[in-house]
Copies of this chain bind each other. A is one copy, B any other.
Amino acid sequence: FSLNLADCNAVLKALQPIFQEQGMTETVHNWEDHGYLVTYIKKNGSFANLRIHPHGLVLVDLQSYNDHMKGREEVDQLLNKVEERMKELFHGNIKRVKRLPAILRGGVIDRYWPTADGRLVEYDIDEVVYDEDSPFQNIKILHSKQFGNILILSGDVNLAESDLAYTQAIMGSGKEDYTGKEVLILGGGDGGILCEIVKLKPKMVTMVASNIDQMVIDGCKKHMRKTCGDVLDNLKGECYQVLIEDCIPVLKRYAKEGRMFDYVINDLTAVPISTSPEEDSTWEFLRLILDLSMKVLKQDGKYFTQGNCINLTDALTLYEEQLSRLYCPVEFSKETVCVPSYMELWVFYTIWKKQTDI
């Protein structure tokens, strides 16, 4: 609905007493053609903005330091009064009333980790478990009541202890038989994939994690044990080894040696999300890894990787275009998976060499 100037003023007059009762002092700005902004200031450092738009939108924002439960009750009471007064004024003829949960900023615990598609989501974080800067990135492990510990790399939610679904998806969703197989993992510093595959009696799993991953490994082996078990405690086990090296030279060496794998699983954290083809270097890096991986992949082998969130369709399309530009023809399938801590659906790829007719 829309208000005229007199209505705007009536809203202001109706709501004023509610804020004044709180001992707040008022500053009114009148745009005439854009309505009012009224700022109410309290002695204790908290304040409120009342924004009255002439087309009928009325916004109330309250900001205070130290939001105790008592403070929240007071806020609720104040907003109840605002709602009541507005309903009286417009005889119940109000199209929509919406109250959003308080946003908590500046505390030790940061609960807001936006999704890959840029949406605001609040996590039930109650503890900072690990927070370190490596020369490459910031590494946080935060505790969520429902997801367990969550690994967050440079602000991106990477994996939580609840996210077996991620590990299963990037291993082929339970449709593969790893028994006696040669497996190469690129990245995977959280240890989730390694931990799950060694349970399946492979011949040998080689995980290549670079310096970038070293501090991730250090943090995860201590704080993400539901994900990695004890597999990161040693860099070598009965059927696995972890190499701390850049994957490019390792892949080149293997290709030269003719060493071949049944499965290559790319779990490197650096996923290009750029959708401008000019920023080509990330895509080139990605194609280099793909090309080298195909060189060490057996003819009937499979390459698994995560793609992106389902809503970043342009980035997914660009990724798929790269697949047609490899040295050998490949085919691929994709699957959309719900990873609990992601708060968005995620796309995983399976890539294999196109079988030529004999």
The complex places the Cα of A303 from the Cα of B100 at a distance, in Å, of 36
Segment at the interface with B among A110-118, A242-250, A255-263: A110-118
A34 proximal to B (CB < 8 A): yes
The smallest beta-carbon distance between A171 and chain B, in angstroms, is 18
Query: Given the interface contacts A57-B106, A103-B120, A340-B338, does A51 sit within 8 Å of B37 by beta carbon?
Result: no
The minimal Cβ–Cβ distance linking A54 to chain B, given in whole angstroms, is 9
Query: Is the CB–CB distance between B343 and A121 below 8 Å?
Result: yes
Question: Does chain B have a CB within 8 A of A311?
Answer: yes
Which segment of A9-17, A39-47, A194-202, A288-296 sits at the interface? A39-47
* Most B-side CB within 10 Å, residue of A53, A105, A120, A344: A120
- Residues of A41-89 at the interface with B, using a CB-CB cut-off of 8 Å, are 41, 43-45, 47, 49, 51, 53, 57, 59, 61, 63, 65
**Stoichiometry, copies per complex:** 2
Beta-carbon contact of B112 and A311 below 8 Å: no
Nearest 3 A/B pairs, CB to CB: A34-B45, A57-B106, A119-B122
Q: Chain B nearest CB: distance from A104 CB in Å?
A: 10
Inter-chain contact A343/B345, CB cutoff 8 Å: no
Report yes or no: A345 in contact with B162, Cβ–Cβ below 8 A. Answer: yes
A122 touching B120, Cβ below 8 Å: yes
Contacts of A37 in B (CB 8 A): 39, 41, 47
Cβ–Cβ < 8 Å partners of A47 in chain B = 29, 37, 51
